Structures are given as structure tokens and as C-alpha cells.
């Protein structure tokens, strides 16, 4: 029996439970049509088509041979529908996150297969034995030299992964630098897992549909949740390819793209010191984009899955609920320039639009729906000379980027966000957040990043 995550409600489930009487299947279909409003705690939540699409309602009504009461239909839906699982990893990423018993087994296996002359193999084995999916793919690529230890590690990998599923810890370190540590209160990774999803190129588990990374900062205006990143690996792959459910051998670059990539490759290989290479810095971004698209096509894309256009709004709702639960004073979003600086890349229009326009707009809509105020600039402290806010082209090394270091020892920057009053937080805690419910974000619906 599937159960809803804590603090989450289903508009579909609640509408069924509030239905006035027993109804025939066709009457239920008419009653549960997209757009029907659920009134809850003075708020209105429309029933979304995607919640209907990813429920078992049609199957239940097709199999019904008589009229069904609200209790019967609600119970049938609860017994058969697929629901996401929300996981929270909080704290610091650790080298040995396993139980003492498992950690001892890992060390024994590593000692058994120890090969000081093959450091990459030993690193991959160590990480794989500790539940890391990415290292398993690295071992596959290593071929024969990794075959035997890889096979020996599979059982302990499965047990490690199962342990980490029950005891999640952050996989990645916080975005905050060491000099920011005194302002950092906590760091979280919020994952949404969808049963049956098997996307092996995920940053987390293969069943991870989307994730967000957030920090709670002691800011001048109070405890502030900063959403550092929102991402969906399977949806991003499908968007890069432009299609869902595509097998790797079915897709490749178009003849024009392949020809252009070949020309760019030859130009980059043919550059010589002392020659005029001024065009290099302009063609490297195009070359990198084509290479990334080629790699994505070779891996194929996942089948259609929920939250295609609204996974970012789901992650915003989860963070809003966490902020209310933790009695935080404000919630804000790191701007696009912070994303580009972290990954040492040029700020693309799509990333800027997503983090600077679409996400703040959706956050404002969500906060206002719970009675909060609009967006404002939230002050977030940065400490130390190594804190940075932007990257710029390096004229001395075409194609490379250099940090725009802050000259001051202490400086604050402003993120778009919203203050959370005690009344707003209480309303969020009382009402909960809808499982489905948001306007699609344009940049996630397939808009080009160019």
C-alpha cells in the first residue's frame, strides 16, 4: 500500500473522500475531471491532469462493475497507485557512511584486492563497495582488469546501497566555502524517488526523479534557506535529446551537426602557438555543446515520467515545507551566475532564465498562495577572498575561465526570495503541500539554452 510523504496531500485523494455519494464509474470520471477545485483551509487547489495520468484511477473505474462509494474508491486508489518517495540527507558528506559491520567488510574486501599500481581501480572499488552507483559504471568501463573484484563486490554494494537508503547522508559537500562555515547552520539534499525508475546516470540512486540542494544560513535577516540547486537528471537527458523513451541506437547527431562537429574538432586540433587563434574562444562553447549532445544521444533517454514540466516546482514546495517545519525566517534562490561560477562555465541564457526568473516567479506564487508577501532581495553573507560571484573569459587563455574574486574580506550579496512570517509557516504546516500542483516552468518545457 502506497502512502503519501509526511506533510503532503493528494488533491485527487481528498476530492474522492469528500464526494457526496456513491457514484457509477462514468459519474466518477465526470466528477474527477481536471480543474475541479479542492477547498482546504481557505485555499483552493485544482485537480491537475498529470495527477490523474499517474494514478490508477482509470484502471479502477474500467474494472468497476457497479457503483462505488467514496471510501471504496479511495481505498482502491491507495492500494494501487504509484507514489513518489521523498528522502532528506542532512549534515556533512562522510567518507565512511556505513555501519561499523559493513565498513569492516568493505575494508577486508579492499585489502583482498589491493593493487597499489592501479589507483583508479582501487578508488572505484572502494566507492562502489560503499554504495556508489557511478563507480560501478567506472568499473564496467575498466573491462577485464576489474571483472573479478567487481563481481566480488556486487553483494556488498547491494547491502551498502540498502543501508544508505535507510540512513541517507549527503552525497556532496555543501556549496559553502570553508570561510563561510561560521554562517552555515545546516546543509541538505532533498531527493524525490519514483518507484520503477531506473536511470543509471543519476547523481544519486537510479530511482531519483529530481533533487535539490539547500543550505540554511545565519543571515542578517534571520535564518535563511538558500536553494543552491534544483535538477532532474532523467528529465534533463530527455530534454537534451528532445524526446522521451529513445533507445541509444535510435538517435544520433544530424548530418549537419556531425559535419559541423568534425570541422570544429579539426580546427581545435590544428591550432599552433604563435598563430592567430582568436577564433578559438568563440568556437569552444559550440564544440562543447555538440559533444555533450552527442554523448546524451548515445546514452538514450528514459521513458515518460511524472513532473515533466513541474519537477522544479515540486522541489520548491518541498523546500518551502522544510523551511516552515524548521521555523526558518526566509527562503531564497541562488542566482544563475552562482551556478555558472560553481561549474566554471559561461552563464547560458537558459540557466539565467531558470534561476533568475522562472524559479523566483514560482516561489513567489507558492508563498503568496499561503498568504505570504512577494519577492524581495534577501541578504546572504559571503566570507573570504575565495568567495566569488561570477566567471569571465580569460584573455590570456582562450576558452578558459577565471574567477572574479571578491576584494573584500567580508561581503554580502542579495538573492531573490521571500520572508516567511509565523502565520505563513503555521499555514504551511497545517495545510501541507499538494503532491501535484504548479504552473509549468517554461525553461523546463524544452526551451533552448542557446
Looking up cell 499517474 gives 54
Instruction: List the grid coordinates of 388.
Output: 566569488
Contact between residue 431 and residue 396 where contact means Cβ atoms under 8 Å apart: no
- Please give the Cα distance from 319 to 285 (Å, whole number): 33
| Predicted confidence band of residue 268 (pLDDT cuts 50, 70, 90) | confident
Query: How much is the pLDDT for 411?
Result: 57
DSSP-based three-state secondary structure for 84:
coil
- Please give the Cα distance from 95 to 276 (Å, whole number): 47
How far apart, in Å, do the first and last CA atoms of the chain sit? 45
pLDDT at 178 exceeding the cut of 70: no
| Predicted confidence band of residue 96 (pLDDT cuts 50, 70, 90) | low
pLDDT at 397 exceeding the cut of 60: no
pLDDT, tens digit, 9 for 90 and up, residues 357-392:
999 999 999 999 999 988 999 888 765 434 444 445
DSSP letters along 410-434, please?
Answer: EEEEEEEEEE--HHHHHHHHHH-EE
- Please give the Cα distance from 179 to 209 (Å, whole number): 33
Average pLDDT, the chain: 81
Q: Considering the chain, what percentage of its residues have pLDDT values greater than 70? A: 83
DSSP letters along 143-198, please?
Answer: THHHHHHHHHHHHHHHHHHHHHHHS---SS--SS-GGGGGGEEEEEEEEEE-TT--
- Please give the Cα distance from 327 to 420 (Å, whole number): 9
DSSP letters along 308-371, please?
Answer: TTTHHHHHHHHHHHHHHHTT-SEEEE--HHHHHHHTT----HHHHHIIIIIHHHHHHHHHHHTT
Query: How much is the pLDDT for 398?
Result: 47
Q: What is the DSSP letter of 36?
A: P
pLDDT, tens digit, 9 for 90 and up, residues 58-88:
989 998 889 999 999 999 998 888 899 999 9
Contact between residue 203 and residue 308 where contact means Cβ atoms under 8 Å apart: no
| Predicted confidence band of residue 25 (pLDDT cuts 50, 70, 90) | very high
pLDDT, tens digit, 9 for 90 and up, residues 288-333:
788 877 877 777 777 778 898 889 999 999 999 999 999 999 999 9
pLDDT at 156 exceeding the cut of 50: yes
Looking up cell 532533498 gives 190
Query: How much is the pLDDT for 402?
Result: 45
Instruction: List the grid coordinates of 439.
Output: 504552473
Residue with the bigger pLDDT between 274 and 238: it is 238
Query: How much is the pLDDT for 181?
Result: 65
DSSP-based three-state secondary structure for 257:
helix
Mean pLDDT for the stretch of residues 94-117? 81
Contact between residue 394 and residue 344 where contact means Cβ atoms under 8 Å apart: no
Looking up cell 577572498 gives 385
- Please give the Cα distance from 377 to 380 (Å, whole number): 9
Looking up cell 533533487 gives 211
Instruction: List the grid coordinates of 440.
Output: 509549468
Partners of 105 in beta bridges? none
Instruction: List the grid coordinates of 184.
Output: 552555515
Amino acid at each position: 500500500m502506497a502512502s503519501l510523504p509526511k506533510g503532503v496531500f493528494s488533491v485527487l485523494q481528498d476530492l474522492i473522500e469528500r464526494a457526496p455519494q456513491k457514484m457509477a464509474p462514468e459519474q466518477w470520471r465526470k466528477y474527477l475531471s481536471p480543474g475541479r477545485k479542492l477547498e482546504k483551509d481557505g485555499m483552493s487547489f485544482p485537480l491537475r491532469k498529470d495527477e490523474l495520468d499517474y494514478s490508477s484511477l482509470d484502471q479502477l473505474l474500467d474494472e468497476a462493475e457497479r457503483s462505488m462509494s467514496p471510501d471504496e474508491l479511495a481505498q482502491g486508489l491507495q492500494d494501487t497507485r504509484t507514489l513518489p518517495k521523498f528522502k532528506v540527507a542532512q549534515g556533512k558528506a562522510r567518507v565512511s557512511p556505513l555501519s561499523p559491520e559493513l565498513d569492516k567488510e568493505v575494508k577486508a574486501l579492499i585489502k583482498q584486492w589491493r593493487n597499489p599500481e592501479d589507483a583508479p581501480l582501487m578508488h572505484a572499488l572502494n566507492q562502489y563497495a560503499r554504495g556508489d552507483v557511478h563507480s560501478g559504471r567506472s568499473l564496467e568501463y575498466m573491462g577485464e582488469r576489474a571483472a573479478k573484484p567487481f563481481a566480488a563486490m556486487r553483494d556488498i554494494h547491494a547491502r551498502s546501497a540498502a543501508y544508505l537508503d535507510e540512513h541517507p547522508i549527503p552525497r556532496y559537500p555543501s556549496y559553502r566555502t570553508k570561510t563561510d562555515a561560521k554562517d552555515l547552520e545546516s546543509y541538505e539534499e532533498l531527493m524525490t524517488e519514483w518507484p520503477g525508475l531506473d536511470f543509471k546516470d543519476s547523481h544519486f540512486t537510479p530511482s531519483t526523479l529530481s533533487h535539490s540542494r539547500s543550505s540554511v544560513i545565519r543571515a542578517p535577516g534571520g535564518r535563511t534557506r538558500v536553494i543552491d540547486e534544483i535538477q532532474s537528471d532523467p528529465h534533463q537527458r530527455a530534454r537534451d535529446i528532445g524526446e522521451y523513451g529513445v533507445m541509444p541506437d535510435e538517435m544520433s547527431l544530424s548530418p549537419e551537426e556531425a559535419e559541423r562537429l568534425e570541422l570544429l574538432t579539426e580546427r581545435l586540433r590544428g591550432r599552433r602557438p604563435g598563430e592567430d587563434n582568436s577564433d578559438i574562444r568563440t568556437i569552444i562553447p559550440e564544440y562543447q555543446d555538440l559533444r555533450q549532445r552527442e554523448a546524451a544521444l548515445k546514452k538514450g533517454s528514459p521513458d515518460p515520467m511524472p513532473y515533466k514540466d513541474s519537477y522544479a516546482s515540486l522541489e520548491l514546495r518541498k523546500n518551502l515545507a522544510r523551511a516552515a517545519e524548521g521555523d526558518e525566517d526566509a527562503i531564497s534562490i541562488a542566482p544563475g551566475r552562482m551556478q555558472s561560477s560553481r561549474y566554471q562555465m559561461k552563464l547560458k541564457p537558459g540557466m539565467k532564465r531558470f534561476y533568475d526568473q522562472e524559479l523566483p516567479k514560482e516561489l513567489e506564487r507558492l508563498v503568496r498562495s499561503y498568504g505570504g508577501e512577494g519577492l524581495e532581495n534577501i541578504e546572504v553573507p559571503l566570507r573570504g577572498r575565495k568567495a566569488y560571484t561570477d566567471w569571465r573569459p580569460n584573455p590570456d587563455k582562450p576558452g578558459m575561465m577565471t574567477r572574479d574574486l571578491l576584494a573584500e574580506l567580508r561581503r554580502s550579496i542579495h538573492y531573490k526570495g521571500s520572508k516567511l512570517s509565523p502565520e505563513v509557516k503555521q499555514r504551511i504546516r497545517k495545510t501541507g503541500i499538494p503532491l501535484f500542483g504548479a504552473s509549468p516552468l517554461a525553461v523546463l518545457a524544452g526551451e533552448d539554452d542557446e
